[in-house]
Amino acid sequence: MELDPQQHAARTWFEALRNRICAAFERIEAEAGSDATFAYTPWDRTDPSGDPGGGGVRGVMKGKVFEKVGVNVSTVGGRFDGDFAKSIHGAGEDPRFFATGISLVAHMANPHVPAVHMNTRFLVTTKRWFGGGADLNPPIPYAEDTADFHAAMKAACDAHDSDHYPRFKKWADEYFYIPHRKVHRGVGGIFYDHLEGDFDANFAFTKDVGLAFLDIFPAIVRRRMGLAWTDADKARQLEWRGRYAEFNLVYDRGTLFGLKTGGNIDAILMSLPPHATWE
């Protein structure tokens, strides 16, 4: 699949960010006395037309601190199939598309350490835009962690546009909500989509979101990973993971996009927790 300079630059960044995040997470495992590392599985995609449609790499680590963390990168292209094209920004009149991005979900062994999601992406249809964000999902919330996570996201936003943080925080609060449970998935973060126009400015912002995540989440993990936990704490974590799974299977746009575009099933569903309960 031939890439233009913008597509190449975005893909290169997402892959470099993956490498930095995975290295940071492996360092945490080493600090905890674990030799866990990421296992990487490449995959290829065939477009519904029968042509090669790109692919990606699924990275998964199961360790002492990270019970299950997936960090995926993908670069795919081709044509959206059928009516799905009409639901994608700029694809209603032309179903051809390109997409590259990074997607991360971490489920932690210690219930005091929050689960987390981060995704940033670049899409091309008849328009070009960035989207993504990051949100914190603690079974046992700590006000300090929530404040620090939001402060990191706000700093990334404020460096580019003072309107970004209030707008994207509100968007996350609205998006990461489970209507049938009438609860939010976690304590929020930021979510943005269809950020188009100035490629360089929007790309710089998207990079800063990834770097802010890389800075703040490992700090929160180190703060909480040594805390003692009880059976009741673990039960609370497993129940909350059930809510997380419900959101990702019923409402998450990324899950639907991956399924509709013929992505790798294991990579798409890596967001699901290794264990959960429904009482």
- The residues annotated with a catalytic role in the active site are 117
* Distance of alpha carbon 202 from alpha carbon 121, whole angstroms: 11
Strands 115-124 and 52-61: unpaired
| Bridge partners for 118 per DSSP | 104, 134
Query: Which phi and psi angles does 50 have, rounded to 5°?
Result: 100, -10
* Distance of alpha carbon 99 from alpha carbon 78, whole angstroms: 9
Which residues contact residue 217 at a Cβ distance below 8 angstroms, ignoring those fewer than 6 apart? Answer: 106, 116, 118, 149
* Distance of alpha carbon 61 from alpha carbon 21, whole angstroms: 12
| Buried/exposed code over 94-108 (b: 16+ C-beta within 10 A; e: otherwise) | ebebbbbbbbbbbbb
